[in-house]
């Protein structure tokens, strides 16, 4: 059976979180918390979490928005299974509020709309042409007045940023088959859609940044 598109993170699902903590400590989660704190609206509206990994971000969203309706879209079957297990064990009272869907942005219905798109450490995985198509599709699913919440690696400003990013792209290219070989122009693609970003924090020596785009 052919592998699903963008499902390569199956290969690292069992050790992804420990590896991230080993390299970056708490910085990745601090950036995600900062983006949610700055941009997750308190009003009603469906939330799209794309490429959410093993599920921790679900707790961060549902603790802030206990009544949120969430679509959790993940291309890796192993990551999706871990997310479902995490929610069932940690916040079982919210199971009915979350739809777990296996697939890429192509799995979104043409009539689906979301008040918030949460894309944490996700957009950096794609080469520029795929990134452009991806953000266009996600933007089409964003309701008027909605917000993108981002946490990701910043464009490298120091030599060690470039070195660590280079090693990261080499490792994940080898293990997961991601299409990017260097950090793509994330901000340029969002601005192309008419969005503007507001910083929400920088972490890990300014290598990691959180932002809200509207």
Q: Residue 202: enclosing H or E segment and its boundaries?
A: strand 197-203
Calculated CA dihedral for residues 174, 160, 27, 154, nearest 10 degrees: -80
pTM for this model (two decimals): 0.95
Q: Which CATH architecture has domain 8-213?
A: 3-Layer(aba) Sandwich (3.40)
Instruction: List pLDDT tens digits, range 191-209.
Output: 999 999 999 999 999 999 9
pLDDT classification of 104: cutoffs 50, 70, 90: very high
In order of 13, 71, 78, the CA distances from 10 in angstroms are: 5, 20, 5
Domain ranges of the chain: 8-213
Instruction: List pLDDT tens digits, range 42-88.
Output: 777 899 999 998 999 999 999 999 999 999 999 999 999 999 999 99
| Alpha-carbon gap, residue 105 to 205, rounded angstroms | 32
């Amino acid at each position: 059976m052919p592998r699903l598109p963008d499902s390569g993170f199956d290969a690292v699902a069992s050790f992804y979180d420990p590896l991230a903590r080993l390299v970056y400590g708490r910085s990745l989660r601090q950036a995600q918390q900062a983006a949610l704190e700055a941009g997750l609206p308190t009003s009603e509206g469906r939330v799209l979490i794309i490429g959410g990994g093993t599920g921790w971000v679900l707790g961060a969203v549902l603790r802030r928005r206990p009544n949120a309706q969430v679509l959790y879209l993940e291309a890796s079957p192993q990551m999706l299974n871990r997310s479902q297990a995490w929610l069932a064990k940690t916040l079982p009272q919210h199971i009915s509020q979350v739809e777990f869907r296996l697939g890429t942005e192509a799995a979104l219905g043409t009539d689906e709309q979301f008040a918030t798109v949460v894309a944490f450490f996700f957009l950096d995985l794609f080469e520029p042409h795929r990134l452009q198509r991806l953000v266009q599709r996600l933007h089409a699913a964003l309701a008027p007045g909605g917000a993108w919440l981002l946490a990701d690696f910043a464009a490298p400003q120091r030599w060690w940023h470039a070195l660590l990013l280079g090693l990261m792209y080499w490792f994940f290219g080898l293990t997961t088959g991601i299409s990017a070989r260097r950090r793509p122009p994330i901000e340029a693609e969002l601005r192309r859609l008419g969005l503007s970003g507001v910083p929400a924090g920088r972490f890990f020596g300014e290598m990691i940044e959180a932002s809200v785009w509207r």
